[in-house]
Amino acid sequence: MTIAAFFDIDGTLYRNSLMVEHFKKLVKYEVLDPSLWHSHAKKTYNDWDKRQGNYDDYLLEIANIYIKSLKGLNEKQMDFISSQVIQLKGDRVYRYTRERIHWHKSQNHRVIFISGSPSYLVEKMAKKYAIEDFKGTEYFTDESGNYTGEFMQMWDSENKQKAMLAFKEKYHIDMENSYAYGDTNGDFSMFQMVGHPIAINPTKELLQHIKNDEKVKEKISIIVERKDVIYKLDANVEIF
């Protein structure tokens, strides 16, 4: 049986969101209208930045704008900007998570990315970190390579669970001895499925979900990385 390590990317490995970085680059290169940022996403971002709003709300708003904006764009047109995102931002990762990827590789574990970011970004991130397999949100194109506006999301708990079950079947994975890393409620199903779940800088919603599930609570590790210090917390940590 194979031991695997499943990693979310946004907020778990990468210290932001690949989709958000891509959206910003599309605006910067004027592929998308800059007013999309100023008239929609900027307020939600500022609310979160001032700690007056919810980060998940900000990401969801960006995702909705991103999905609508992609329609009609060509995948070849997007490839250069996608490469720019990984080239310029791909090293902006958490030290703890990066070291865990190296450790899993040294143990001959199969490392797999499961991310809500677009698959064309996840693929490039996987290549950068020499990851064997991955699953991201699929954005569908027509016969001319233009995005249709249809997609299959991978940022929710249900679809991440389906992806893990597919990988389990593909690689004959021993889930009880495998690992999962995530930071938001969308990663909770991954924690339920493995013997060694690790929450990285978890959101308040995820922490509450962990505290309400005795099986996950008793086996999970909670890691918080701030500045140059890495903290390991007990699952009974008080939530404010």
Return the sign of the alpha-carbon dihedral for residues 32, 34, 35, 37.
Answer: positive
Nearest-angstrom CA–CA distance, 220 and 58: 27
Nearest-angstrom CA–CA distance, 46 and 67: 21
Q: In the predicted model, is pLDDT for residue 189 greater than 90?
A: yes
Alpha helices in the chain (DSSP H): 18-28, 35-36, 42-49, 55-70, 75-89, 95-106, 119-128, 157-171, 188-193, 204-211, 214-219
- Whether 184 and 210 have beta carbons less than 8 Å apart is answered as no
33 band by pLDDT with thresholds 50, 70 and 90: confident
Q: Which residues pair with 77 in a beta bridge?
A: none
More confident residue, 38 or 138: 138
What is the identity of the amino acid at 44? T
Q: In the predicted model, is pLDDT for residue 15 greater than 80?
A: yes
- Whether 27 and 36 have beta carbons less than 8 Å apart is answered as yes
137, with CB counted inside 10 A (0-12, 13-18, 19+), is buried
Q: What angle do CA 128, 131, 137 make, to 5 degrees?
A: 85
Q: Quick one: average pLDDT of 47-63?
A: 68
pLDDT of res. 10: 92
pLDDT of res. 129: 96
Domains of the chain in start order, with CATH, are 4-233 (3.40.50.1000)
pLDDT of res. 47: 67
pLDDT of res. 52: 59
pLDDT of res. 66: 80
What is the identity of the amino acid at 150? E
Its pTM surpasses 0.85: yes
Q: In the predicted model, is pLDDT for residue 205 greater than 80?
A: yes
CA 223: distance to chain centroid? 16
More confident residue, 17 or 54: 17
**63-120 tens-digit pLDDT:** 778 888 888 888 888 888 899 899 988 999 999 999 999 999 999 999 999 999 999 9
